[in-house]
Amino acid sequence: MWNGVSGRAWIDAQELLDRLYKPFEDLLVDVVAAESPGAVLDVGCGTGATTVAIARRLTATGRATGIDISEPMIAAARARAEDAHVPAHFICGDAQVQSFAAASVDMIVSRFGVMFFDDPVRAFANLRRAATDNATLRCIAWRSGEENPFMTTAERAAGSLLPALPPRQPDAPGQFGLANEHRVARILTDGGWGDIDLRPIDVPCSFPEQALVPYVTRFGPVARVLPDADDETRARVIAAVRPAFDRFVHGDEVRFTAACWMIAAAAV
């Protein structure tokens, strides 16, 4: 998926998504700046916005590395860093199984990149092996779908028109895969992390109204099945979905609150 339609969608909408998720980038950059680690690993770095921003804030001896499973997104990340003349480094690989150098990372961060692991305990254990004994972990992940109505509006509005639309499964890899705080604590503990703290954060987000339909038709569960629909069904889906977002539209801007966890842990 991330090497196909979803990866291409993120690249095509890079400017929009950079704006949309800038508040989360700022949160992580501020945490990195406060701790001043020598080496930072950004997991699920996508097109590299957070990795590059972190690299800018690190001292001359610091190093920021991003890892993502998507080849096209990593290529875009490398181009971004080169264009910005920022010494960020990128790895195309799966953080769950990547052979990181042992004890090579002082801080691990992620902006919505750790909810997709098939085996999250194995993944966080692998990240723990990459971490130094004094390393910290700071990840942002979505809370539940119920707490994020903006993120589930499209599928609720289009469900009757798209029989192939798969229902979300609790705790399954995906956007809300780390919504359950007790499960997250168990995963991190079993993966070798301690001092675990999940702090709820509610972050205002916005983007231009004119980007709403392109956003809905390229991201999320509806976007994954819409390409297989015929033109008539596609038109009916858009006609049903767009009005469902009216409560989030304020003039020429879409606004919503993202209900997330700021996950903190330390190597043990």
Q: Could you tell me the residue ranges of all domains in the chain?
A: 5-145+170-205+259-267
Angle between helices 149-158 and 231-244 (to 10 degrees): 140
Answer whether 82's CB lies under 8 Å from 57's CB. no
Give pLDDT, residue 61.
80
Burial of 105 (0-12, 13-18, 19+ CB in 10 A): buried
**Alpha helices (H) along 36-111:** 49-57, 71-84
pLDDT below 70 — which residues of the chain?
Answer: none
Give pLDDT, residue 185.
98
Give pLDDT, residue 34.
94
Token couple for 157? 């509005």
Write the CB contacts of 267 (distance below 8 Å, at least 6 apart in sequence).
128, 131, 132, 133, 134, 135, 136, 137, 192, 193, 194
Give the separation between CA 88 and CA 240, rounded to whole angstroms. Answer: 43
Ranges of beta strands (E only) in 96-232 are 105-111, 131-142, 193-208
> Under CATH, what is the fold of the domain 5-145+170-205+259-267?
Rossmann fold (3.40.50)
